[in-house]
Amino acid sequence: MTPLARARLSLEGLSVGDAFGEQLFGENAVVLQRLEQRDVRPPPWTYTDDTEMALSIFDMLRETGEIDRDALAQAFAKRMTYARGYGKGAYELLEAVRGGAPWKSASANLFRGKGSFGNGAAMRIAPLGAYFSDDLTRVVAEAHKASEVTHAHPEGIAGGVAVAVAAALAWNERESPKLGSAFVSRVADEVPVGYTKDGLLAAERLSADAPYAHVVETLGNGAAVTAADTVPLCVWIVAHATSFEEALWQTAGALGDRDTTCAIVGGILALRFGDAAIPAPWRAAREKLPLDP
């Protein structure tokens, strides 16, 4: 499979996961009942900013085969659709870029000059890991560039790097019968020291049969919308997943930022289990991507 075809496969899983998670928001009691009954809403399922930003990354890889930070910032800003659910920080940054501000200063100025440590880089980046999966060093370098456009804080970048590496490894190890804790360890090895890495190391210590409530309590579910609160759970789920569909139900069952966690898990697991593993009804329910005929 070509690098671009791998990226397109990941984008498909990401966007379906995103739309799947998005239609499972609501009052907790109602959502928990829907999860128990495996009850999904009628189509169309709208995708969010997770997919919209991933589309810009995919377009850049298709056109140039690498990340140009200046061009990517412009692409993010041009494509931004207010109704897709952008966070306050991302909205402010991309509005500033639209107004002519350099992305580097706009990104660095967020959150009182600390930069964003949110999960926005992680949510969109799996197709990049797929594209560069033949070269893990390149995955890390390109993920760093693609992340820092909007996330100047090291933790925001770490989240992007972790998911890109996980996507690359999932493709490279797609024939392995089991990923397990060794997979989590390999992802953690590529992530710089910090809270996101600490979360991954905690995920490595949690077995596949650990009580799921304990896993979520330990690793987070994205409710804080930070990289450290989002990425470790997603990588743990991927490490122990047996199918795309079951893993997405499990991911949504953690509640929290479920469009983003499902986008991350979907973008990675499409590479592990293949295109046919994405449920056809879910794919049909997701609104069409601009790339679709």
pLDDT tens figures, 196-243: 999 999 999 999 999 999 999 999 999 999 999 999 999 999 999 999
pLDDT tens figures, 112-159: 888 999 999 999 999 999 999 999 999 999 999 999 999 999 999 999
Which residue range is the domain that position 23 belongs to? 3-285
Give the distance, in angstroms, between the CA of residue 211 and the centroid of all CA atoms in the same chain: 24
Is 42 part of any domain?
Answer: yes
Is 290 part of any domain?
Answer: no
Residue 58 in this model has a pLDDT that exceeds 80: yes
- What pTM, to 2 d.p., does this model score? 0.97
Domain count, the chain: 1
Q: What is the mean pLDDT of the chain?
A: 96
Q: What integer pLDDT is reported at residue 70 of this predicted model?
A: 97
Instruction: Using alpha carbons, select from 146, 142, 151, 90 the residue that is nearest to residue 117.
Output: 151
Query: How far is Cα 58 from Cα 206, in angstroms, rounded to an integer?
Result: 33
Residue 292 in this model has a pLDDT that exceeds 90: no
Q: Assign 3-class secondary structure to 75-118.
A: HHHHHCCHHHCCCHHHHHHHHHHHCCCCHHHHHHCHHHHCCCCE
Query: How far is Cα 8 from Cα 291, in angstroms, rounded to an integer?
Result: 10
Is 292 part of any domain?
Answer: no
pLDDT tens figures, 160-194: 999 999 999 999 999 999 999 999 999 999 999 99
Q: Give the CATH number, domain containing residue 81.
A: 1.10.4080.10
Is 130 part of any domain?
Answer: yes
pLDDT tens figures, 85-96: 999 989 999 999
Residue 293 in this model has a pLDDT that exceeds 70: no
SS3 226: strand
Q: Give the residue-averaged pLDDT of 34-46.
A: 96
Is 95 part of any domain?
Answer: yes
Q: Give the residue-averaged pLDDT of 27-54.
A: 96
Is 186 part of any domain?
Answer: yes
Is 252 part of any domain?
Answer: yes
In percent, the amount of the chain with pLDDT more than 70 equals 99
Is 13 part of any domain?
Answer: yes
Q: Are 7 and 61 in contact (CB under 8 A)?
A: yes
Q: Give the residue-averaged pLDDT of 85-110.
A: 93
Residue 85, Cβ density class (10 Å: 0-12 exposed, 13-18 middle, ≥19 buried): middle
Residue in the structure block whose two tokens are 């999966």: 133
Query: How far is Cα 185 from Cα 205, in angstroms, rounded to an integer?
Result: 9
